[in-house]
Structure 1
Amino acid sequence: MDRRRFLTTMTVAGVAGPFAGVACAGRQGGAQAAPSGYGPLRPVPDLRDGKVRLHLPDGFSYRSFSAAGEKFSDGGVVPGRHDGMAAFAGPGGTAILVRNHEVGGAVGAFGDRERAYDPMAGGGTSTLRVTRRGELVRSTPSLTGTMLNCSGGPMAWRAWLSCEETVNGPDVADAPGGAGNARLTRKHGYVFEVPLGRAATAEPVRAAGRFAHESAAFDPSTGAIYLTEDNFSHPSGFYRYLPPRHPMLAGRLLDGGRLQMLAVADADRADLSAGQPPGAAYAVEWVDIDDPDPGFRARTPYDEAVQAVGRQGRAKGAAIFARLEGAVYHQGTVYFVSTQGGDTSPADPMPEGFGKGRGQVWAYETWSRRLRLVYESPRAAVLDLPDNITVSRRGTLVLCEDGDGDNYLRGLTPAGRLFDFCRLAPISGDPGAEFAGSTFGPGGHTLYVNVQSKQGRSFAIWGPWERGLF
């Protein structure tokens, strides 16, 4: 099997776990559809207004809700750039969603500016209560004044960790294509906790690092928070934050812990961004980050600031990845995505940014301290730049694509089968629209997901899940 095809055989420490010992054939041609776990995809009208926004298998329905520009329940305006999201059980069979808004620039905070972390920053989160069929019950701002809130992760103590994918601030010069850092009042690049039962404090967990954060995954056995870094133009790292007290005992994530970065044992600065051989697996160790919250001299170049934390880890031998994005914890394993990991197929153009491939899925086994490759895309027609991920009750991963052409929600089963579940219908005037924030609601009845576009909206999808692989 080609080295850029699916991992054929993998057993770690004599135990075959999920995604171990699997094979996947992938697509044989750029125009040929991958096999679907639920059947062919067809255009389905949105139950909200009858417009076709998604293509789904037979028997599935959806409703969109809480689009950008609409009103919150308190009358404020819903911001755009819907991104990472988590679902929690709500009263009466509803779901409580906490949703990121990846808004950049010094455009001013939405919601109550007096409670904002930085009144000049336009990102943050909203909290929504919805039915299993996407009927919006209530929506409010929950964290405001943050910036470029890309993803994060649900926490077992009923909280969402929201992550800023930037290091902007008044001490940093404007990033390429950006503007307004001099108007910001606070440093950015942090993790923020958004609890369900009380108001967000809008105070960052500074010891968890100031870097281009993406996702967060919680290991309940140790209390560690695993963090991904999406540094678009530079190498990225895989981190863990060890809080001073187990969050389940503290009831929240405490500041003042220790930040570490993954390194491959006996391999200094191992480059895992490149194409990997079949069966790739590595013993790992963790190196400490001595200064997780660096301050900078006035107007430090953005490219220098955004690498300040990662360079500390790589100086001690930490591994190199290409754009780490989605992460999820499942049964002792943290699955995470390297969006541009791997090699570029001769049939595909070279992607912009750091990394030459069309995507990798990695698994870090917390119990064995082993890292293994789960999947590497052979070409864009099979899997094109995976981003956010979640996991179903059956252990199947849901991959949100952020590719150059049609974008899909794809499933990757524990047996290694990759299939198409949903395709995003083209959005007029916005070819860059993408899926983000997939999360299953209570009981697995509904898959909630966002479409990040120039506006953005959320969706509830339901149907005969038992018929297929989710």
Structure 2
Amino acid sequence: MSATRRQVLARTGALGAGIAFTGALSELFAGTAAAHSPGHSGYGPLVPDPDGLLDLPKGFRYRVLSREGDELRSGEGPVPSNHDGMAAFPARSSGRPGGVHLVRNHENRADGRVPVPTVEGLTYDPEGKGGCTALTLDSRGHVRDERVAIAGTAVNCAGGPTPWHTWLTCEETEDKAGTNGYTKDHGFIFEVDPADPRRTGAVPLTAMGRFQHEAIAVDPRRGVVYETEDAFERPFGLFYRFLPEKPLGGRGSLRAGGRLQAMRVPGVPDLSSIQETGAGFDGVQWVDVPDPLATGTPIRHQDFGRGGVTHAQKLEGCYWGGSSVYFVSSFARSAEGSAADHYGQIWRYDPERRRLTLVIVFGPDTDVQLPGESPDNICLAPSGGLMVCEDGNGAQHVYGVTRRGEVYAMARGAQNIGTPDEPEWGEFAGVTFSPDGDTMYVNCYTPGTTFAVTGPWRR
């Protein structure tokens, strides 16, 4: 991100005004079971950590599962840097249920600080520094294994889980072979089996497109995969759907190919032009991508015929809830080419009705600290609300958002990567919960640290 939300607010004179939600917040929790959300004060004030790693409310505690630079338990090399997107899956421990598989992205570019070690059979491009690592935890939450899950990829930012318990890791780049020393084209999605990475290997899912991928969500009934594109320059990114030849076919089925399509909202070339929550559009169309591999022209530059396709700046998060897919535009800036300015939008697409609705808009209305600066990764929480990772300047938090729209601080990073006079803290990423909802896992991007947080989540 070239500029933080706080910097944008300062330039527009809205720094004292901040960010607030408008719209039907309850939409975000569609399809989740009702639960008792924390009250107005959340779980209480954050307590400074005497060890200087992670501040949490009273009653909560953390365990460091993994740190950048430490040795992988597999002996394959050091734990890579730039911990990013992550997901948790059920596992068996000593033949008994209760364990957890964690799969974790490493958003390393060509100059990655600690690259993902190359491993035979799991490496796509020996010059790629990114990839994923997988951790196996036993029923007591102790790390039993940590190993490379895929290597030789690049800028592995986000992705998403599949209904068959694999992880789709996304490359947020479109560098081709010969760029930055790469020997192969990049910008693909790769499937990773956290239980046994060798069953998926390092095979790009080329039919799913080559572009600056951010996140995915799978329709668990139809098997359609939705994809967001976080393009940094005009024309901005697109919202895609992939129609697999073998929908819901299980591990490896996406290799069979399918059709990649881009969303067209008639009369709306740029989603930033829509500012009113609740605005809805029927008759959403899907247009076949002419060249999914972008062999000569990036997809968003390609000719989609009369009517074109719909673009949006900073398309990031994507998840499935109820009968719809939700996706996030983190911000839009007219000075950078968007049709209008906003501080964040969340959209809902209902495939049954072919209807797109603007659900939430972030705007300069209240305290800039809540729900934080530059919200990034999100996940549904067992409390019935959301957990939101902060990615910006100053102190970095994981914020909770209740079903009533109340925002509270859940965690604060305490690892100062700056100086005593000019402190700086790494962003949070990859927040996710164990299958039983008793543990929150979250990454600090820099220095790469993976935490397991336990406490009275269902209070």
Partner residue, 1:301: none
| CA deviation map 1:133-171 (0-9, x unaligned) | 753221000101100000111111121000000011225
The separation in 1 between residues aligned to 2:139 and 2:55, in whole angstroms, is: 20
Matched-pair contact (CA < 8 Å) for 1:109–1:118: no
The 3-state SS of whatever aligns with 2:253 is coil
- Which of 322, 345, 351 aligns to 1:366? It is 351
Partner residue, 1:217: 217
Partner residue, 2:316: 325
- Which of 390, 396, 401 aligns to 1:407? It is 396
Partner residue, 2:192: 194
Change (3 A) 1:5 1:114: closer
The one-letter amino acid paired with 2:370 is V
The 3-state SS of whatever aligns with 1:7 is strand
The separation in 1 between residues aligned to 2:156 and 2:337, in whole angstroms, is: 22
Stretch moving more, 235-244 or 372-381 = 372-381
- Structure 2 gaps of 5+ residues are 1-16, 31-38
The separation in 2 between residues aligned to 1:58 and 1:100, in whole angstroms, is: 30
Matched-pair contact (CA < 8 Å) for 1:165–1:211: yes
The one-letter amino acid paired with 1:280 is A
Partner residue, 2:22: 7
Matched-pair contact (CA < 8 Å) for 1:169–1:186: yes
The separation in 2 between residues aligned to 1:68 and 1:432, in whole angstroms, is: 15
1:357-396 matches, within 5 Å, as 357-379=342-364, 380-383=368-371, 384-393=373-382, 395-396=384-385
The one-letter amino acid paired with 2:21 is F
Q: Does 1:102 align with 2:107?
A: yes
The separation in 1 between residues aligned to 2:28 and 2:378, in whole angstroms, is: 16
Matched-pair contact (CA < 8 Å) for 2:382–2:458: no
Change (3 A) 1:356 1:405: farther
- Structure 1 gaps of 5+ residues are 11-15, 21-33, 46-50, 174-179, 297-304, 344-349
The separation in 1 between residues aligned to 2:134 and 2:340, in whole angstroms, is: 34
Change (3 A) 1:55 1:369: farther
Stretch moving more, 59-68 or 131-140 = 131-140
1:205-284 matches, within 5 Å, as 205-234=205-234, 235-248=236-249, 252-264=253-265, 266-269=266-269, 271-274=270-273, 276-283=275-282, 284=284
Partner residue, 1:440: 433
The separation in 1 between residues aligned to 2:345 and 2:27, in whole angstroms, is: 18
Partner residue, 2:73: 73
The 3-state SS of whatever aligns with 1:444 is coil
The 3-state SS of whatever aligns with 1:66 is strand
Q: Does 1:56 align with 2:56?
A: yes
Instruction: Note the C-alpha offset of 1:320.
Output: 2.0
Partner residue, 1:30: none
Instruction: Note the C-alpha offset of 1:268.
Output: 4.2
- Which of 122, 126, 131 aligns to 1:119? It is 126
Change (3 A) 1:402 1:252: same
The one-letter amino acid paired with 2:396 is N
Partner residue, 1:346: none
Change (3 A) 1:422 1:362: farther
Partner residue, 1:459: 451
1:16-165 matches, within 5 Å, as 35-45=40-50, 51-75=51-75, 76-92=77-93, 93-105=98-110, 110-113=117-120, 115-131=122-138, 135-165=142-172
The 3-state SS of whatever aligns with 1:63 is strand
Instruction: Note the C-alpha offset of 1:402.
Output: 1.2
Instruction: Note the C-alpha offset of 1:432.
Output: 6.1
Partner residue, 1:311: 301
| CA deviation map 1:429-466 (0-9, x unaligned) | 2836111111111210001111101x311011111111
The separation in 2 between residues aligned to 1:406 and 1:358, in whole angstroms, is: 19
Q: Does 1:449 align with 2:442?
A: yes
Count of residue pairs the alignment pairs up: 414
Q: Identity percentage over the alignment?
A: 39
Change (3 A) 1:408 1:371: farther
Matched-pair contact (CA < 8 Å) for 2:222–2:247: yes
Instruction: Note the C-alpha offset of 1:390.
Output: 1.4
Partner residue, 1:168: 175
The 3-state SS of whatever aligns with 2:241 is strand
Change (3 A) 1:208 1:99: same
Partner residue, 1:295: 295
Instruction: Note the C-alpha offset of 1:59.
Output: 1.2
The separation in 1 between residues aligned to 2:344 and 2:132, in whole angstroms, is: 27
| CA deviation map 1:294-338 (0-9, x unaligned) | 224xxxxxxxx6xx1123376643222221112221222222222
Partner residue, 1:424: 413
Matched-pair contact (CA < 8 Å) for 2:383–2:457: no
Stretch moving more, 370-379 or 234-243 = 370-379
Instruction: Note the C-alpha offset of 1:109.
Output: 5.5
The one-letter amino acid paired with 2:344 is G
Change (3 A) 1:432 1:68: same
Stretch moving more, 232-241 or 350-359 = 350-359
The 3-state SS of whatever aligns with 1:207 is helix
| CA deviation map 1:225-250 (0-9, x unaligned) | 11111112331221111111113357
Instruction: Note the C-alpha offset of 1:282.
Output: 2.6
The 3-state SS of whatever aligns with 2:254 is coil
Change (3 A) 1:215 1:18: closer
| CA deviation map 1:22-72 (0-9, x unaligned) | xxxxxxxxxxxx954222222235xxxxx2322222211111221110111
The separation in 1 between residues aligned to 2:428 and 2:134, in whole angstroms, is: 19
Change (3 A) 1:157 1:114: closer
- Which of 163, 185, 198 aligns to 2:183? It is 185
Change (3 A) 1:313 1:221: farther
CA RMSD of the aligned region, Å?
3.0
